Structure 1
Amino acid sequence: HEIGPGSLVLFDELGGGTDPVEGAALAVAVIEAVRQAGAACVATTHYAELKAYALDTPGVCNACCEFDVDTLKPTYRLIIGAPGKSNAFAISEKLGLSPDIIRRAQTLVSTENKSFENVIEKLETSRVQMEKEREEAKRLREEFERFKADAEAEIRKKTAAAEQEAEKARKRAAAMVASAKASCDFLYDQMEKMRRAQESAKAAEELEAARRAVRDHLRATGDTYDPIEEPVEEDGDYVLPRPLHKGDRVRLVTVNKEGELTDEPKNGMVTFQAGVLRVRARVADLRLLTDADVKKKEKQPKSTVTVERSGGFRNEIDLRGMMGDEACLAVDQYLDEAVMNGCESVRLIHGKGTGALRTAIWKYLRGDRRIASFRIGRYGEGDGGVTVVELK
């Protein structure tokens, strides 16, 4: 009378201790009354009728406690959804009861109960098989998960190793590219040096040719430029008394000028300085002056020589459009003419542009001993496109 929604009613062997048929019917009625009151109910039983009632009635579910027939002990594992099987015959056999008695007892079981027990046995067998398969599936799944984890770890390891190798390969490739670039830069530099050396050698040859032309011209017009020039001695069999050295006083027989060597002879050539005139000359064209020659020269009366300016000489030269080496060669030849014509100041027209030509010319002018000073042109003189040179 006190049960209601939220109540829990427990029955142990409901309907037991009386006739099985009446006891089963009474148990079903009691369970229905409890359910109608809204209470939850748990009942244990061995009645097949109650097991069948649970199978046929919605809201009612069979359950059983697993029993190990081999050990005759319960496993205390609750199986939801399957009715428990009566194990009376199996337990009796395990306890030593005569097999004949057990077989006779089995024949006395009603066909209906026997069929029901068979159904339960098949369900139990299926359940056990499903449990084994589920355990196997669980084992396989766990094995697969371990394999998957190991495979993923191996993949990550190999991926990291591949990335490291790729990074090393990238670094090696970058080093190879840098090495190739450095080699190319070195080759380009060497080629540029060779080109400049060839241009310099060509310029030196052109300069020497120009100076030879100037000397030939001076010899051809000697009466005009040096009317009292002493005759050149013809001494084709002359042999230097000793090797020439820097600082020696010598006479250049091709122009009959005395001067001083500014460097050591090399490959049969040497630099000769006579006043503002500085040229490269062959050692074979030089005569070593002894102390007696120098004293004799000092005792001779000095003659006054007047150098007349050539009518075609201009005090400016246009260097625009030339390369640096070409312009420096032209300036060197022009300054020779300026000195010969007695000019004190000349203008070098190089233009403004990028300033590279002016820089090359100024670098050359700083090392020329014929020059007293030079400056950029002022307003009216050509501004930054002209350099004004004062000669010594």
Structure 2
Amino acid sequence: MNARIFRVLEFNKIIDQLVEQAASSLGKDQARALKPSTNLEQVQLLQEETDQAVQIVRKHGDVPFGGITDIKPSIKRAEIGGILNPQECLQIASTIYGGKRLRRFIEQMEEPQSPLIREMVANIVPLTELETEIKQCIDDHGHVMDGASDKLRTIRTKIRTSESRIRERLEGYTRSKSKMLSDAIVTIRNDRYVLPVKQEYRQAIGGIVHDQSASGQTLFMEPQAVVDINNALSEAKAQEQAEIERILRELTIRIAVDQHALRQNVDVLTGLDFIFARAKLAQLMRAAMPKMNDQGYIEMKQARHPLLADAEVVANDIIIGADYHAIVITGPNTGGKTVTLKLVGLCTLMAQSGLQIPALDGCQLAVFNEVFADIGDEQSIEQSLSTFSSHMTNIVDILQHVDDRTLVLFDELGAGTDPQEGAALAMAILDAVVKRNARIIATTHYPELKAYGYNRAGVINASVEFNVKTLKPTYRLLIGVPGRSNAFDISRRLGLEDELIVAAKQLIGTDTKSVENMIASLDQARRGAEQDYQDAAQALDEAEQLKADLAKQWQQFEREREALYKKAEEKAEKAVAKARQEAEDIVATIREMKHQSTLKEHEWIEARKLFDEAQPSLAKKGQVIPTSKHSNQDQTLEVGDEVKLLTINQNGTIVEQIGKHDFQVQVGMMKMKVKKKDLQLVKRDDPIVKKPLATIKGASYHVKTELDLRGERFEDALQALEKYIDDALLAGYPRVSIIHGKGTGALRKGVQEFAAKHRHIASATAGAMNEGGSGVTILEFK
């Protein structure tokens, strides 16, 4: 499409809004390069992508794009043999992590109605090993860590030792010879530790002068006693830099190996960011997905101009392309005619770019090869062209490119010249464009064009409504009704004498009177139709109210039926007394078995299963607690309740109450301390048996996922560990944490030996840094 149309219709402002919605620089760059497509299938694909993203954002909120940066320049440097700096390596690891997090977010959604998004996400390569290698060498601040290599750890230990010795000696000077110093501090000059010595004590201190103050009264001297240590420190720092370069070189080579996967990830993440930027813009505009066609058919319901505030814009229905291909809009200035032109053109460009449009659901738009517009004052002083000449130059260029896949927008067609000649030119131009089967919307002031739509096939008149009582336009578009000349009505309301108005009416031609009478008749018919529509709408509201009443009565019926079911369940509960007694017998048997040393793990679990199967299952178990309208602080929460964490929109289970208003909540394998006000009760399981069975430990018995043995005697700790492992196995945990501390290591060794002999423990490994390190052993169950 021609670039001029983007400026005339202010499409660039839409692009600016889209850029603001992108989360990364990659998405922003792609948004800036957005251009409308003229291929129907491609446009439909873009619209489907946007709509799927809109559904995801509507149901799940913002999509995580954090940590994603443009790493293509770094990948290129790695490819050609350069050495990446720590910050570049960290950005690559961060982008890998961001891609994995986004993939998990999309894949964990329950709704399968996002095939295009899911297909794109499936192309993200995890690259976990590369991310781990980088994170093991570089910390979150972009510094190479001591643990990046054994050699680097040794060198830095040497550096710290040397620095400590130097400071110790120099601080001895600050204490013993403070009178010779300008200030009793140790400072650095030229990467060497020095003292600020007064000029007159230079010989007394001795050593190397590295700098002096502006006045020359203070010399920054390195005493001879620390010269050798400083030399060793400098050598160690050089070795440190060399080792860091070696580590970065190896990381760069590793990154170059995965360059293709990294580029693929960046391309996928860029595309996803761009798609979700379109989705967020659609939500901002309260937009809807249009159905696209290549037949030139446009139908917009309650469409709003995308760049106007809701308080300023008036929604309108616009239809063109079926029964008629051209609309001629007449009406007063500032009535909204130009806004209507720009609305149609701008929404067309947006739709062909994959953006949703601000209108109601069910709208349709066409894919055009070209959109032309002659709007506004195009006077050019440089070319010595008048307004009329400039308009005609633009129109001549448009006529050379018009065909049946073109949308043409004319604003004040034929204006700027003699009215009679201008009207004739306007009709001739419209005839020429209509013959080529283009879609046209034109505005005009000429009264001769008010009857144009009645004399030409495929053309319809329209107008913007004017309220004579308030003397202001309403900005409503009325298709099928040409604009009336309201001069006489306005003059009368402003106080002009009736005699003058009657005399003026006698001076106008018969044809003009006929046209005005026809317009008045059409306006009256329109008002009658609107009244009928209001009556129909009222009847519809009454029908909807009746439907709501019936639904309410049906709900009452359902509640009464549920009450009857509940009553029947209470009777049934008496009938299962025998089953309850059997359950109690099983409990007694399990208690006896538990004290037998020969009891095996599988026998204990099978006994628990028999107990569960012996209990009756009633409908009231798992009853959903209705959401309270009162404050969360007023609700009663208990251990075992299923709750919703309002801050992260996740469900969990209360495992412990901490204080009056704090609870510990288990969310998956993670425990969190949460305020009561941030919790909402979701479900509470009613107990099936009336007597508590505290001795039965299984899936319903809460066991912590960690055991703290610190401070216990060795034998007592192993006994506690054995009992805890039994409870954890019955609770069905896949893994647990044993906290034994570092100390002498005896308790850690005892835990690991116990784990090696236990047939239900698959592995025993030390915890990660954020889990306690060697002070914790992680046990994985089979």
TM-score interval (norm. to shorter): 0.3 to 0.5
Structure ranking higher on relative contact order (CA contacts 8 Å, 6+ apart): 2
